[in-house]
């Protein structure tokens, strides 16, 4: 009798495991810095969380943002050396959205900016080597609204042609987050990181491009 009582529970567990292994949702890896990671206790107002709500249940959005990371490999915190980079690749994404560059404008990293394009291409190549190969989107970083040796609004603006060059050379789609939030300092409480409304605008911009370029 005890075996008969256990059997239905085992069947239920096996069905649950089967459902997990047969997850046919589109996997989207959001790669980036603190602007991707978001803030707050539960980080629910970051752009990947908003993107999940916009795309719906057919998509599995994962946030691989890390505070302070750079594109340049000789920077103070290169993204390619972070565990999040490994986890993003292990996720086997169907789509990768990369939003990096803001921390490269810090004065200690800007001295390495000549390697930005080559290092960005190297980062992208590791995603392109995945099987199956994901669709990759590059983002022009959102504007910053401050000067100085930390993140700098003028240097952020100078990243545009560099990222556009990576996109052109590798035949990748570029999402212009800069234009989407330009002239809206009200959406950046600390002049760098977006407010919840700013995060929603980023998500809407990314969502529109993903849907337009859906394969």
What mean pLDDT comes out for the span 16-45?
75
What is the arithmetic mean of pLDDT over 127-149?
A: 97
What's the mean pLDDT in 150-171?
A: 98
Helix (H, G, I), strand (E, B) or coil at 188: coil
The one-character DSSP state at 102 is: G
In 3-state terms, what secondary structure has residue 98? strand
Q: Which DSSP helix (H) or strand (E) runs through 138?
A: strand 135-140
CATH, range 25-212: 3.40.50.1110
Q: Domain limits of the chain?
A: 25-212
pTM of the model: 0.88
pLDDT above 90 covers a percentage of the chain that reads 85
First-to-last C-alpha distance (Å) of the chain: 53
Percent of the chain with pLDDT over 70: 87
Could you tell me which of 181, 211, 172 has the C-alpha nearest to residue 51? 211
Token pair for 208: 């529109």
Q: 2: pLDDT confidence band, cut at 50, 70 and 90? A: very low
Which sign, positive or negative, has the C-alpha torsion 72, 74, 75, 79? positive
8 Å CB contact between 100 and 84: no
Q: Over the stretch 190-214, which tens digit does the pLDDT of each residue have? A: 999 999 999 999 999 999 999 999 8
């Amino acid at each position: 009798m005890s075996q008969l009582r256990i059997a239905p529970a085992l069947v239920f567990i096996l069905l649950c495991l089967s459902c997990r292994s047969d997850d046919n949702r589109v996997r989207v890896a959001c790669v980036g810095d603190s602007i991707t990671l978001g803030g707050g206790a539960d980080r629910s107002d970051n752009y990947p969380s908003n993107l999940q709500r916009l795309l719906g249940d057919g998509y599995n959005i994962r946030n691989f943002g890390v505070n302070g990371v750079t594109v340049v490999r000789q920077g103070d915190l290169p993204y390619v050396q972070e565990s999040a980079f490994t986890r993003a690749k292990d996720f086997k994404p169907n789509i990768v959205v990369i939003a990096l560059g803001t921390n490269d404008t810090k004065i200690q990293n800007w001295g390495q900016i000549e390697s930005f394009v080559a290092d960005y291409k190297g980062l992208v190549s590791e995603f392109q080597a995945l099987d199956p190969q994901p669709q990759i989107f590059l983002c022009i970083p959102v504007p910053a609204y401050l000067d100085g040796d930390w993140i700098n609004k003028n240097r952020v603006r100078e990243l545009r042609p560099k990222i556009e060059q990576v996109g052109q050379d590798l035949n990748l789609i570029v999402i212009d987050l800069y234009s989407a939030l330009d002239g809206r300092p009200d959406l950046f409480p600390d002049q760098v990181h977006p407010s919840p409304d700013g995060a929603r605008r980023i998500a809407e911009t990314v969502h529109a491009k993903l849907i337009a370029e859906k394969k």
